[in-house]
Amino acid sequence: MALKNHQPLDPAYLEKLQDYYAEHKVIPSYSVLATLWGISAKSWVSECVRRFEEAGYLDWTPDRQLKPGARFFERRLAHDTVQAGLPNPALSDGYDLVTIDDYLVRVPSKTSLVRVKGESMIDAGIHDGDLIVVEQQPNANVGEIVVAIVDNEFTVKYLDREKGGFVLKPANKAFPVIRPQGRLEIFGVMAGLVRKTR
């Protein structure tokens, strides 16, 4: 059998695991890992896993199931271009980012998307047709951008307080402040924004 010598042992293994995870969205069992890595002893897989765990690439759930660790998704935002060795382009912090969904959505069951209508929030960089990522919750703090329900329609506005009552302030001088009579129904708080331009 062909024996291979990995000098640092790590990087090839990790990449294969990452590719597997990218395809299946799941960490495989030790025996699958063994064939994936070309190893024939589970004991050695166990040892390798331990090292990846030490390095922060793997982790365990409270139920002692193997899962991706904090550094597992480490990856450049912008990859180096096709050619011309330009240096690491401006990605300040080491971002971990699997998918855009993951970047924006913290609690899937409480998150939904709302399409923006009109230009009333244009000074906040929110344009007609943008999608707002909303975390559903019944109340919010002054200053946050909220999605409220006014006249059976979603409205995106800043939440503010005026003489003891809540008001909805647009980010556009051409639009009026909304002072709801009665109770203000808040659908959720803006957690992000998605715009498609092509």
| Spatial contact of 13 and 53, defined as CB atoms under 8 Å apart | no
| Spatial contact of 143 and 159, defined as CB atoms under 8 Å apart | yes
Q: How far is the CB of 20 from DNA (least distance, A)?
A: 14
Q: How far is the CB of 78 from DNA (least distance, A)?
A: 27
- 145-150/131-136 β-pairing: unpaired
Q: Which stretch binds its own copies (CB under 8 A): 45-53, 145-153, 160-168, 170-178?
A: 145-153
Those residues whose C-beta lies under 8 Å from the C-beta of residue 145, and which sit 6 or more positions away, are 121, 124, 126, 156, 157, 158, 159, 189, 190
| Spatial contact of 125 and 184, defined as CB atoms under 8 Å apart | no
Q: Using CB under 8 A, pick the residue from 48, 105, 146, 184 that binds its own copies.
A: 105
Nearer to its own copies, 44 or 103 (CB): 103
| Contact partner, 41, from its own copies, DNA, none, Cβ < 5-8 Å per class | DNA
d(CA 160, CA 111): 23
- Applying CB under 8 A, does 37 fall inside the site for its own copies? no
- φ, ψ of residue 82 in degrees (nearest 5): -55, -45
Report which of 193, 46, 31, 38 is spatially closest to residue 126, judged by C-alpha positions: 193
Q: Which stretch binds its own copies (CB under 8 A): 45-53, 79-87, 158-166, 173-181?
A: 79-87
SS3 state at 133: strand
- Applying CB under 8 A, does 39 fall inside the site for its own copies? no
Residue 129 has which token pair? 């047709």
Would you give the binding string for DNA spanning residues 28-67, x where CB under 7 A is met? Answer: -xxxx------xxxxxxxxx-x-------------x--x-
| Contact partner, 98, from DNA, its own copies, none, Cβ < 5-8 Å per class | its own copies
Q: How far is the CB of 163 from its own copies (least distance, A)?
A: 27
Residue 28 has which token pair? 């495989």
Those residues whose C-beta lies under 8 Å from the C-beta of residue 22, and which sit 6 or more positions away, are none
Whether 157 is a known active-site residue: answer yes
Task: Please tell me which residue in 42, 67, 117, 120 is annotated as part of the active site.
Answer: 120
Whether 120 is a known active-site residue: answer yes
- Applying CB under 8 A, does 99 fall inside the site for its own copies? yes
| Contact partner, 67, from DNA, its own copies, none, Cβ < 5-8 Å per class | its own copies
Active site residues: 120, 157
